[in-house]
Amino acid sequence: MKTQELLSRLRQNDPVALAKAISMVENRKKDYGKLLEAIYPLGRTALKIGITGAPGSGKSSLIEKLIAALKVQGLSLAVLAVDPSSPLSGGALLGDRLRMIQHSNDPNVFIRSIANRGHLGGLSLSTHEIIDLLQAAGKDVIIIETVGVGQSEVDIVNVADVVLMVLNPESGDEIQIFKAGIIEIADIFVINKSDLGGSDNKVAEIRNYFALSGREPLIFPTSVKEDRGIPELLAGIRRFQDQESGRIIDKSLRMRENYIEKIVVERIQEKMRRDPSVSALIRGIGAANPYQAAERILELLTTGGIHDKKD
């Protein structure tokens, strides 16, 4: 498929073209950059919902319920499951729950697991790019599930309009998330597994945390097991989207800044890898003095002295 044809099929929300475009971008295949450039300007953007929380808290189970509820509204949906890549396989694991939906072969729900090769410890650049491709395809809602550990959890704010943090009534995660300040990135708290009892305590704990700052946190108890609280949560997300629309626009400007920075860093790294004078510098003075070598490389960069081998 030629890039032009791929693009026009992508714009028609063709799942085969979408999958192909994503692979092309993930694997840095020839013309991937042209394809990404050509999808702009994006006609309209999707609501991007980030879902974070400890493994086992019920993120994938909740997503399955949210999808079922959004699907009946006739919306086109996508789910990205961001997994820390295994150093052995370099691949990503898709949660069982999501695998089930994927196998249901629903054309209105696009599900993709993406390995997080980690860009400066955060979400990899391709996560941003895949979200762009999904938006070009006209998805209405994109849900991004991150494994609730490490930097990808914090970086979710750079791709999501609204961040949900999933907690459980009995979990002791709070101490950790309070301490690490991760709690601050959440727009909405979901106390899932409320069927286990004790969710009131958890709600109080979160309210307490924010009492001093005067922030009124949005908290929704849910139970996937007993199918409770999902419509309320969805309404809460929509309300947040309406009431915070100004903040969401501000935030998307900052997200764009973060995205551009990631693109620039990647392009610089690519150029450095391809320039023989850089490796000569590294092997030469770099062995004796890494700081001097770095300065010289920066000099080459700023004076346009770095050249691709191909040039």
Residues that bind Mg ion (CB under 5 A): 59-60, 95
DSSP 211-271: HTTT---EEEE-BTTTTBSHHHHHHHHHHHHHHTHHHHHHHHHHHHHHHHHHHHHHHHHHH
- 59 sits near ligand GDP (criterion: CB under 6 A): yes
Instruction: Choose the binding region for ligand GDP from 17-25, 55-63, 104-112, 241-249 (rule: CB under 6 A).
Output: 55-63
196's contact among ligand GDP, Mg ion, none, with CB below 5 to 8 A by partner kind, is ligand GDP
CB 141 within 8 A of CB 154: no
Binds 101: which of Mg ion, ligand GDP, none (CB < 5-8 Å by kind): none
Taking alpha carbons only, the member of 105, 128, 138, 99 closest to residue 18 is 138
For residue 57, the minimal CB distance to ligand GDP (Å) is 4
What 3-state class would DSSP assign to 138? coil
Q: Which is nearer to ligand GDP, 198 or 305 (CB)?
A: 198
The yes or no reply on residue 65 touching ligand GDP (CB under 6 A) is no
Give the span between the Cα atoms of 194 and 199, in whole angstroms.
6
The CA distances from residue 140 to 10, 25, 136, 205, 270, in Å, are 14, 21, 10, 34, 34
Residue 53 or 236: the one with the smaller Cβ distance to ligand GDP is: 53
Cis ω before 169 (30° cut-off from 0): no
Number of residues that bind ligand GDP (CB under 6 A): 17
Minimum CB–partner distance for residue 118 and ligand GDP (Å) = 20
195 contact, one of ligand GDP, Mg ion, none, CB 5-8 Å limit per kind: ligand GDP
Query: Which lies closer to Mg ion via its Cβ, residue 147 or residue 293?
Result: 147
What angle is formed at CA 42 by the lines to CA 37 and CA 46, rounded to 5 degrees?
125
112 binds, among Mg ion, ligand GDP, none (CB under 5 to 8 A by kind): none
Kindly state whether residue 60 participates in binding ligand GDP, applying the rule CB under 6 A. yes
94: how many CB neighbours lie within 10 A of its CB? 20
Name which of Mg ion, ligand GDP, none residue 296 binds, using a CB cut-off of 5 to 8 Å depending on partner kind: none
Touching ligand GDP, residues 88-147 (CB under 6 A): 95, 97
Cβ closest to Mg ion, residue 59 vs residue 193: 59
Q: Can you tell me the distance from the alpha carbon of 114 to that of 90, in angstroms, rounded to the nearest whole number? A: 10
Give the whole-angstrom CA distance, residue 191 versus residue 171.
Answer: 10
Site string for ligand GDP, 190-229 (x = CB under 6 A): --xx-xx--------------------------xxx----
Judged by beta carbon distances under 5 to 8 A according to partner kind, the member of ligand GDP, Mg ion, none in contact with residue 223 is: ligand GDP
**How far from 43 is each of 109, 133, 308, CA to CA, in Å?**
20, 12, 34
Give least dist CB 197 to ligand GDP, A: 10
Minimum Å distance from CB 81 to ligand GDP?
Answer: 8
Alpha carbon distance 162, 166 (integer Å): 13
Interface pattern 247-266 for ligand GDP (x via CB under 6 A): --------------------
Element (H, E) at 48: strand 47-53
Q: Return all residues near 62 (Cβ < 8 A) that are at least 6 apart.
A: 51, 166, 190, 192, 222, 224, 230, 233
Give CA 171 to chain center in angstroms: 24
What is the nearest approach in angstroms of Mg ion to the Cβ of residue 2? 37
What is the contact surface with ligand GDP in residues (CB under 6 A)?
53, 55-61, 95, 97, 192-193, 195-196, 223-225
